[in-house]
Amino acid sequence: MSNEAVDFEYLEGFAAGDMQVVTEVLALFQGQADGWAPRIDRADPADWRDLAHTIKGSARGIGATALGDVADKAERGDPSMAPALGAALADALASIEGYLTRIGGG
């Protein structure tokens, strides 16, 4: 188990080692995250649970377990969890950037 915020071995296994699929999935996640980040900061109570649920599913889908766990707690909580969710998202994105750089896909 590494200290990475994303379990890239999980994602690579899920994609059957197809690195083009891995990089496409990560690019989609990054694009989604660009939309989530400002919504987390605004922490609109009306859509908080939906936002946290969406982040949870996407995070778990790519192997970002720590982010998925924080999003799960946020989904059951309220917008006061915005700082923790934003920090976990930033950690996952930094991990993705580092990974893409290492594999030459970033």
Domain count, the chain: 1
Q: Is residue 2 part of a domain?
A: no
Q: Is residue 19 part of a domain?
A: yes
**pLDDT of 42:** 87
As separate numbers, helices (DSSP H) first and strands (DSSP E) second, the chain gives 5, 0
Q: Domain containing 93: what range?
A: 8-103
Among left, alpha and beta (phi > 0; psi -120 to 50; other), residue 53 is alpha
Find the CATH number of the domain harbouring 76.
Answer: 1.20.120.160
**pLDDT of 106:** 60
Q: Is residue 93 part of a domain?
A: yes
Q: Is residue 1 part of a domain?
A: no
Number of alpha carbons in the 13 Å side-chain half-sphere of residue 84: 16
**pLDDT of 41:** 85
Number of alpha carbons in the 13 Å side-chain half-sphere of residue 5: 19
CA 61 centroid distance within chain: 9
Along the chain (106 residues), what's the average pLDDT of each consecutive run of 10 residues?
80 93 96 94 85 97 96 93 96 96 81
Q: Is residue 3 part of a domain?
A: no
In angstroms, rounded to a whole number, what is the distance separating the alpha carbons of residues 67 and 46?
21
**Encoding tokens for residue 41?**
């900061």
